[in-house]
Amino acid sequence: NALPQKKTFSVGGVVENKVVSLLLVAEPEGIFAMPDPTVPESDIKALTTLCDLADRELVVNIGWAKHIPGFPSLSLADQMSLLQSGWMEILILRVVFRSLALEDKLVYAEDYIMDEEQSKLAGLLDLNNAILQLVKKYKTMGLEKEEFVVLKAIALANSDSMQIEDSEAVQRLQDVLHGALQDYEATNHPEDPRRAGKLIMTLPLLRQTAARAVQHFCSIKQDGRVPMHKLFLELLEAK
């Protein structure tokens, strides 16, 4: 059950980091939103599509978490606590990474890309603008996939749940992931010794944006006009 040794090795001349490699392999494919073509466009339809997509993404992301080196060694209760705190940050970071190639659009799924007009229609303009602020930050930095996968694992390990039983084990997980990011940057971006720190410094905005998103979807839930699946509801209630 020991955490994997942090080490660097060389594959085909490219220096890689073991933890980063594991996270790259574990990274799930995007899923499709599949909005119902028989239903006319409306705010309710957009929100229903997004909530359904989020529910399915969550299942995928729980499967992903189990592949983070060291995560399965945590107690089941601590695994739950981290996911209950960090799930929305993970969902948002995935949307952000998918959106890096586009201008002012959010790729919720390959078949569900929201521009300003669609955001307005769905009542998500403020939230989507906040997410676009993150996209802009990572675009400026030129966020790489390797950095994205480690940052996402760090966001989960660092989700600051109040219910952690074994905080030393969670700290060890954070240290392994943080070390992996530092090693990656030392090898791949020696010209910018502060790059790992710069990436970590984007996490407060991610936390803040995720909190806004949770708040927004909690009020949508209270309205009761948008159907939501059980896992999504369960995690909204955990907040």
Partner 1 sequence: KEKHKILHQLLQNSTSPVDL
- What are the residues whose beta carbons fall under 8 Å from the beta carbon of 113, sequence distance 6 or more? 102, 105, 106, 107
Q: Binders of partner 1: how many residues, by CB under 8 A? A: 21
In the shown chain, the binding pattern of residues 173 to 212 toward partner 1, with x for contact by CB under 8 A and - for none, equals ----------------------------------------
In the shown chain, the binding pattern of residues 121 to 140 toward partner 1, with x for contact by CB under 8 A and - for none, equals --------------------
Which of 66, 120, 136, 225 lies at the binding interface for partner 1 (CB under 8 A)? 66
Q: Least separation, in Å, of the C-beta of 197 and partner 1?
A: 28
Q: Least separation, in Å, of the C-beta of 125 and partner 1?
A: 31
Which of 45, 67, 172, 239 lies at the binding interface for partner 1 (CB under 8 A)? 67
Q: Report angle CA 89, 28, 65 to the nearest 5 degrees.
A: 55
| Residues 5 to 24 in contact with partner 1, rule: CB under 8 A | 22
Which of 2, 11, 14, 76 lies at the binding interface for partner 1 (CB under 8 A)? 76
Measured CA to CA, the distance from residue 23 to residue 148 in angstroms comes to 10
In the shown chain, the binding pattern of residues 21 to 60 toward partner 1, with x for contact by CB under 8 A and - for none, equals -x--xx--------------------------------x-
Tell me whether strands 112-114 and 14-17 are parallel, antiparallel or unpaired.
unpaired
Give the residues lining the site for partner 1 (CB under 8 A): 22, 25-26, 59, 62-63, 66-67, 72, 76-77, 79-80, 83-84, 230-231, 234-235, 237-238
